[in-house]
Amino acid sequence: MNNYIILVICAFIHFTGCQRVEKESFPKYLATIENRTISNEKVDSVISGQIYQLRKSTLKTLLRSTIIEIQAQKQNLTKEALLKEKLGNNNNVSTEQYYKYLLEQSIDSKNTDTTKIVEYLLGVNKQKHFEYFTDSLLAESNISINLKPEHYAKVKLDELDYNELTIGRELIVYIISDYNCHSCINVQKRLRKIIKKYGQSVSFRFVYFSEYIDKKALVAEAAASQGKFIEMHDFLFDHPTIKGDNQSIFEFAKNKGLNMRLFEENIFDPNTLKNLMINKDKIVKQNIYVTPSFIINNKLLNDEFALYTLENLINEELEKEK
C-alpha cells in the first residue's frame, strides 16, 4: 500500500511539474493572422480606456446613491421620501420641450402617440433633476476620488484670452466655465476653496465658454475692463437665476464703484462680443465642448470627476515644478 501511495505522489508531482512548464511556455499573444500576432498587451491597451469609462460610470452611480442615503439619514427620512420631497414637483413637460423633441427626432406630430412621448420626456426630466440634486450634494460633501485616466488629452491654450482669479507663478490652471451651466454653478463652493488654498502658487484663469454668448458674459467683461472682474464673476455665480439685464447687476456694479456710463458702453460694445466669439472658436478647435473644463499644464480635465481630481492633479504638477 505504501508503495502505491508513493507512486501516486510521484505521478502527481510529475503531472503538476509538466503543467508548470506548459504555463511558462504559454504564448503571450491571443491570436495570429498571416504571420502577425495580436498580443495580450495590444488588447489590454485598447480596452483600458473602456475599463476606465466603466469604472467612472459605476462609481458615479454609487456615489449618487450613497450621498442620497447619507442625506436621507441626516433628515431621518427614507431615500424614497427624500427624493419625493426634493424632486416631486419636477413632473411637467413644457410644450417647447415636446415640440423640440419631435423636431430633433424628425417625428410627424400627426402620427405619433403623444402619451408615450410625454412619459418618456417626464423620465428624462426626472433623471436630469436627480442628477442636478445629487451632484449639488456631492459638490458640498467631503469627497476624495483617486480614479484617474491613464492618459490626459493635451490642449494648447497659449493664445486664449482670460481673466485672472489669482496670480500665482508656479502653475497655470484654466477654468473654462459658464454662468448658466448647472454643473458650473454646483462646483463653485468647492472650487472657491481650492482657489483660496492654492492661489498663492497657482494662477487660476477664468475663460467663459457657452453654446451662445449670454449677456452675463458681456457684463463680466465690462466689469473686467474696470478691474472688477472677480467681484462681478462671484456675484453672477452667487445669483445664478438672474438675467443679464437684471437691475440688481447694475446696482451691484454701482456699489462697487464702477463708472456706469463706461460699464454700459462696454457691455454693448461689439468688440466685447467679438472677442468672446473668437475665444469660443479657439476652445472648440481644441475639441473642448463641455463645462466646466480645467486645463493644468495643457492637460485637459473635464469628465464627471474633474472637480474632485483637480486638486490631486494640481499637487502632482506643483511637485514636478520643485
**Percentage of residues of the chain with pLDDT beyond 90:** 49
pLDDT at 9: 46
pLDDT at 3: 52
User: Please, are residues 125 and 117 in contact by the beta-carbon 8 Å criterion?
Assistant: no
User: What domains, with CATH codes, occur in the chain?
Assistant: 43-139 (no CATH), 163-321 (3.40.30.10)
pLDDT at 25: 55
Select from 240, 207, 211 the least CA-distant residue to 221.
207
| Higher-confidence position of 292 and 148 | 292
The residue type at 314:
I
Please give the DSSP secondary-structure letter assigned to residue 169. S
pLDDT of 22 above 80: no
pTM score over 0.85:
no
Select from 265, 255, 205 the least CA-distant residue to 231.
255
pLDDT at 184: 92
pLDDT band at 106 (very low <50, low <70, confident <90, very high): confident
Please give the DSSP secondary-structure letter assigned to residue 110. G
Q: Is 207 helix (H, G, I), strand (E, B) or coil?
A: strand
pLDDT band at 17 (very low <50, low <70, confident <90, very high): very low
User: pLDDT tens for residues 65-96?
Assistant: 999 999 999 999 998 998 888 887 767 888 88
Report the alpha-carbon distance of residue 63 to residue 82 in Å, rounded. 16
Torsion angles phi and psi, residue 230, rounded to 5: -60, -45
User: Please, are residues 291 and 210 in contact by the beta-carbon 8 Å criterion?
Assistant: yes
The residue type at 15:
F
pLDDT at 18: 45
User: pLDDT tens for residues 211-234?
Assistant: 999 999 999 999 999 999 999 999
Report the alpha-carbon distance of residue 209 to residue 215 in Å, rounded. 12
